Structure 1
């Protein structure tokens, strides 16, 4: 039997990139998978078809992470359809650059709304439908731990906030045996940061193993933490960055 057979997973921002790889991996491990997307409808629909053609079950829902009501409605729809949410993957996020003299309060609000407030809101909503022994996993960034270049302080702050939330939520939910962890990817080959992009060589230069992540690398860690082998791991951080932060 596949390790996640009978489980339902919700992946926010699952229409492309790392989120899509996570959804595919969890579906491959037997989970029913729901994804949210804000703009990449074609990608989300394609992903659902691919999962279904492989014998899995999938659902795509449009929900902008900045719209708290839409995000909560998506959680409720998933729970109504499948009866529970066993695994929540907080993946959706934005990367906004600029030094503090260039950034505006709107930049701050949008970044924190999507990268932080939505994680709080989705977790709170999903917990109403999560049985004991569930999982909450959040995709952070290795930039939460080290800031190697100027212009990424706002993004780093938003991802660093997820570390404190993860640790606190792990304590809050320990009695229910709900595991809460954060995964910090480094440079990952997606359309937002392609491995052959103009800044890719600079990023490789910080790595001990000079190789961009594939989205499947992140998905593999998610699958391990979401599965039975991750049952004793909670309140922890996992950095996947080729040693950039070593």
Structure 2
């Protein structure tokens, strides 16, 4: 299937890691999009990803994206417009680092950490949307995917209560997507949420015991956790021209959890 995004400019925040972000960058680049790999601190990883994309014939650039600094967000968007003319696609995948694993209860979570979560995970996404949506409406075409988490819908079931604040900010994105869909859908900008279920990675293995992972996996209808690439394929479709009328939806990639 031709996704129809050749030469489109895609900004992927949280794009430099080993998970959903980097897989999304590679997938969009393989479809011909020009991809901005937005990183918070790991510049080397972002540049390595750009190198890999360019080595296979894709087009990409690494851009600084500090969740805690609105001026850096503005500079990121301005740099993209200067280099590539616009932003057609936004994949908001970035989030602040998790709380220390030693913090095992919500009532013990420092208030500064809660404020940081709201500021970086929610405000930064809103500020970015404020900058890119006018670029999209000016051309009558744009696609936005906000990456959420199944934990914000169903709670963390005692596995990671220190992430309650993160769940709150991710849940807020669902309302953002619905509202943006109503406000800008008629102007060609389709906004959706992608909610991954469990993705087996190093972070999950650090947080949960092997026994707990087996219990969680047994509750998945497909019998296994999702892969980052499977989530990336879903995102790629939603931000493509092939998606002509999916707007304001919350799409789960969770194996039927």
TM-score w.r.t. the length of structure 2 is: 0.88
What SS is found at the alignment partner of 1:10? strand
**What is the aligned counterpart of 1:110 among 96, 99, 116?**
116
Find the aligned partners of 2:60 and 2:177 in 1 and give their Cα distance.
Answer: 27
1:209 aligns with 2:189: no
What SS is found at the alignment partner of 1:229? coil
Find the aligned partners of 2:65 and 2:105 in 1 and give their Cα distance.
Answer: 29
Find the aligned partners of 1:190 and 1:38 in 2 and give their Cα distance.
Answer: 20
Match for residue 4 of structure 1? 5
Q: What is the CA distance between 1:5 and its match in structure 2?
A: 0.7
Q: What is the CA distance between 1:189 and its match in structure 2?
A: 3.1
C-alpha contact (below 8 Å) 1:171/1:235 kept by paired residues = yes
Find the aligned partners of 2:128 and 2:201 in 1 and give their Cα distance.
Answer: 24
Q: What is the CA distance between 1:35 and its match in structure 2?
A: 1.4
Give the number of the structure whose residues are more often helix, by fraction. 2
Find the aligned partners of 1:182 and 1:193 in 2 and give their Cα distance.
Answer: 22
Q: Cα gap change, 1:202/1:195 in structure 2, threshold over 3 Å: closer, same or farther? A: farther
What is the Cα-based RMSD across aligned positions, in Å? 1.9
C-alpha contact (below 8 Å) 2:50/2:60 kept by paired residues = yes
**What is the aligned counterpart of 1:77 among 63, 76, 79?**
79
1:132 aligns with 2:140: yes
Find the aligned partners of 1:24 and 1:12 in 2 and give their Cα distance.
Answer: 13
1:101 aligns with 2:107: yes
C-alpha contact (below 8 Å) 1:18/1:190 kept by paired residues = no
Q: Cα gap change, 1:241/1:21 in structure 2, threshold over 3 Å: closer, same or farther? A: same
- Structure 2, unaligned stretches of length 5 or more? none
More deviation in 49-58 or 94-103?
94-103
Q: Cα gap change, 1:214/1:196 in structure 2, threshold over 3 Å: closer, same or farther? A: farther
Match for residue 25 of structure 2? 23
What SS is found at the alignment partner of 1:228? coil
Match for residue 158 of structure 1? 169
More deviation in 198-207 or 150-159?
198-207
Match for residue 190 of structure 2? 179
Find the aligned partners of 1:22 and 1:41 in 2 and give their Cα distance.
Answer: 18
Find the aligned partners of 1:117 and 1:27 in 2 and give their Cα distance.
Answer: 28
1:229 aligns with 2:237: no
Q: Cα gap change, 1:103/1:242 in structure 2, threshold over 3 Å: closer, same or farther? A: same
TM-score w.r.t. the length of structure 1 is: 0.92
Partner deviation per Cα, 1:112-151 (whole Å, 9 max, x = no partner): 1222111101111112322312101110011121114131
Structure 1 runs (4+) deviating above 4 angstroms are: 194-197
C-alpha contact (below 8 Å) 2:12/2:37 kept by paired residues = yes
Find the aligned partners of 1:77 and 1:169 in 2 and give their Cα distance.
Answer: 24
Q: What is the CA distance between 1:15 and its match in structure 2?
A: 0.2
Partner deviation per Cα, 1:150-204 (whole Å, 9 max, x = no partner): 3132222111100011100111112211000000011113343359963533432
